[in-house]
Structure 1
Amino acid sequence: MKKIVIRIPATSSNLGAGINSLGIAFALYSTVIVEEKTDRWRVNHSLKGIPHDANNLIVQTILRINPKIAPRQLTVMSDIPQAHGLGHSTASIIAGIKIANVLGHMNLTLDQQINIGNQLMGHPECVASGILGDLTASYANGKRVSTVKTHMPQVYALMYIIPHYNSKQHSVPPIKKVTLSEMIQSIDVSNVLIAAVMDNRWTKASMMMEKDPIKAHHRKVGLHDLKVIRNQAHQLGIYGTYLNGQGPLIITFGQRIELNRLHDRLSDDASLKGAIRVLGIDRNGTTVRGE
């Protein structure tokens, strides 16, 4: 059998108030090559702290979906940074789903793949945007996921990675701290956001990204950096800066030329210690070649 090449985009969730619902894919990729059969699973890569054997998340996903699949040699080449809020683990799970589907001749639909991914990781928005690409809105009721893909305007994203972030120290606050009023406002904001995107009203959509009633009272990590970046962006007339989840990533959407100016300003700010880069949006999601 010829080699199978799977390419999975980086992903981000929430876009402000769209908690566990809105996801987006970026033009930064993890590539997995499925090679010959072997006596045991071998995963070749240069990633720090990631297993090279059957304990690898990709292999674990394959075997959870179809334990009868024979071991293979896999080669992973990833530009998605680990533990930085861009879906490194999501990419591994999606790769496992795609490999199980091909090698197991399962003929899973995209909807079935998204549902499996949600069962395995509990974040439908990340799985949906990684598989489908572009901007997705998802709803999960504990049993099934319903997803709609829409087209994000022709914008880019400036990524600021918050330094020294530790997810174990900055866990998501208990839901009991969220008031009914905050929940209703968050739903209202995310509804207007997605409607504005679908109507190609980018100014209104970007304004909605900066409104986040639920998480506004709970964030601790990155607040200083968020304020600095948002203020600098506003001075340039750029709106659409938000903290991805509880961190460790701050994202600003805008036109490429605008974001390059913002990049230069932020690079000159001594109070900001994180890494900065500008990325495009992936429109196609995960691709599989050599089936």
Structure 2
Amino acid sequence: MLTIKVPATSANLGPGFDSIGLALELYLTLKVEGPQDHWQIEHTLGADVPADEHNLILKTALALIPDLTPQRIKMTSDIPLARGLGSSSSAIIAGIELANQLGNLGLTDYDKLQIAVRLEGHPDNVAPAIYGGFVVATYDDVAADAISAPVEHVHALTYIHNEELLTSASRAVLPKQIPLAEAVKTSSASNVLVAAVLRGQLDVAFRMMERDHFHETYRRDLVPHLAKIRAAAHECDVYGTYLSGAGPTVVTLVSEAKATTAFQQLIGLDLPGKWLNLGVARQGMIVTN
């Protein structure tokens, strides 16, 4: 049986707006049970998620190979919808891999990245699902490139708000221009973040996450819990806190050794949502037959 397992992604890592992301240990899993006369995806995500060829996974696969033989598929997903954890990205990556496997396309990871970015638009959303770990990516409307690096002994204390925040609404509050001084401060923090991760200086790297002026500054009214979590996290000796994707999910990165203690303190906050203590997924999409 063909099984495709895709991790969640947490993008916009602080000043790494539209360019830096992490793969997290939450998964969307497809089990392809065999051919039949029509496409069918069995899932428990509710009536709003199509179970036929209108499902995003199948739309993606059929965009690559329109005449794929219909299959019966079981899908499970721990990734919440419209919460800033890459639910759409994981579906797109799963669809690309479904076509790759069923159609024997022989796609490389680089090929998959190009297709995914053309469909999804943001490389930091999709690249971690392919490569795993900490990923820096770019897209110039022609081609995408990504570099991945392992992040060892780090946990993501993840707060998932009860209410959705659509990417379109979160994007709408961003300005078309920002002052040069703000852009310089933010881009330099992003540069240090990347260099520090590659040197293994995680305390420096993730301190940079809280120096963003590209998007969090403008989204703070949409996610008032970000400031509350960040203030509480500062008392827990963590690396840093950031808004995941377009929100409303907020992620606090902390060393593995201090994760349990920090998690217990943060879940004591009076917030309407749930908390997860997640590892960073070292590997991206996994395929087994």
In which range does the TM-score fall when normalised by the shorter chain? over 0.9
229 and 259 in structure 1: CA distance in 2 versus 1, 3 angstrom threshold: farther
Please say if residues 153 and 256 of structure 2, whose CA atoms lie closer than 8 Å, have aligned partners that are also in contact: no
Distance 1:70 1:216 in 2: 44
Q: Provide the C-alpha distance between the structure 1 equivalents of 2:243 and 2:261, rounded to a whole number of angstroms.
A: 20
Which residue of 9, 12, 16 corresponds with 1:11?
Answer: 9
- How far residue 257 of structure 1 moved from its aligned partner, in angstroms, is 4.5
What SS does structure 2 have at the residue aligned with 1:59?
A: helix
Higher deviation after alignment, 257-266 or 127-136:
257-266
Q: Which residue does the alignment assign to 1:109?
A: 108
Please state if 1:90 is matched with 2:89. Answer: yes
Q: Secondary structure at the match of 2:141?
A: coil
1:175 CA displacement: 4.0
TM-score by length of 1: 0.93
Would the aligned equivalents of 1:221 and 1:246 in 2 still touch at CA under 8 Å? no
Is the 1:162–1:222 Cα contact (8 Å) retained in structure 2? no
Residue aligning to 1:151: 150
Deviations 1:127-172 (A, max 9, x none): 1100111111111110100111111132101001133243254434
The offset of 1:280, in angstroms, is 0.4
How many angstroms apart in 2 are the aligned matches of 1:245 and 1:214? 12
> In the alignment, is residue 279 of structure 1 matched against residue 278 of structure 2?
yes
Using the alignment, how far apart are the partners of 2:99 and 2:135 within structure 1? 24
Residue 121 in 1 paired to residue 120 in 2?
yes
Partner of 1:35: 33
Structure 2 residue 20 is the aligned partner of structure 1 residue 22: yes
2:69 maps to what in 1? 70
Shift of 1:180: 2.4
Contact 1:157 1:254 in 2 (8 A): yes
Q: Map 1:1-291; keep pairs closer than 5 Å.
A: 3-48=1-46, 49-167=48-166, 169-219=169-219, 220-223=221-224, 225-270=225-270, 272-290=271-289
The residue matched to 1:248 in structure 2 has which SS? coil
Counterpart Cα distance in 1 of 2:174 and 2:156:
30
Q: CA deviation at 1:115?
A: 0.5
User: Which SS does the other structure have where 2:244 is aligned?
Assistant: strand
The alignment's TM-score, normalised by the length of structure 2, stands at 0.94
Compared CA separation, residues 31 and 234, structure 1 to 2 (3 A): same
Deviation at 1:261, TM superposition (A): 2.2
- CA–CA separation in structure 2 for the residues paired with 1:265 and 1:237: 11
Please tell me whether the aligned partners of residues 10 and 22 of structure 2 are also in contact (alpha carbons under 8 angstroms). Answer: yes
CA contact (8 A) 1:232 1:262 kept: no
Question: What amino acid maps onto 1:10 in structure 2?
Answer: A
Structure 1 residue ranges, 4+ long, deviating more than 6 angstroms after superposition:
none
**Per-residue deviation, residues 95-134 of structure 1 (Å, max 9, x unmatched):** 1100111111111111000100000110111211001111
Cα 1:7/1:246, change in 2 over 3 Å:
closer
Q: Deviations over 1:177-231 (max 9, x none)?
A: 42222222222111100100000001101210111022243121223x2222222
Per the alignment, in what secondary structure is the counterpart of residue 188 of structure 2? helix
Secondary structure of 1:176's counterpart equals: coil
* C-alpha separation in 1, matches of 2:170 and 2:287: 36
Displacement, 1:82? Answer: 1.5
What SS does the corresponding residue of 2:54 show, helix, strand or coil? coil
Number of residue equivalences: 286
Q: Pairwise CA RMSD of aligned residues?
A: 1.5
- Contact residue 69 and residue 104 of structure 1 kept, 8 A: yes
Given that 2:84 and 2:246 are in contact with CA atoms closer than 8 Å, whether structure 1 keeps it comes out as: no
Distance 2:174 2:165 in 1: 18
Deviates more, 1:166-175 or 1:102-111: 166-175
Identity between Structure 1 and Structure 2 (%): 36
CA contact (8 A) 2:85 2:245 kept: no
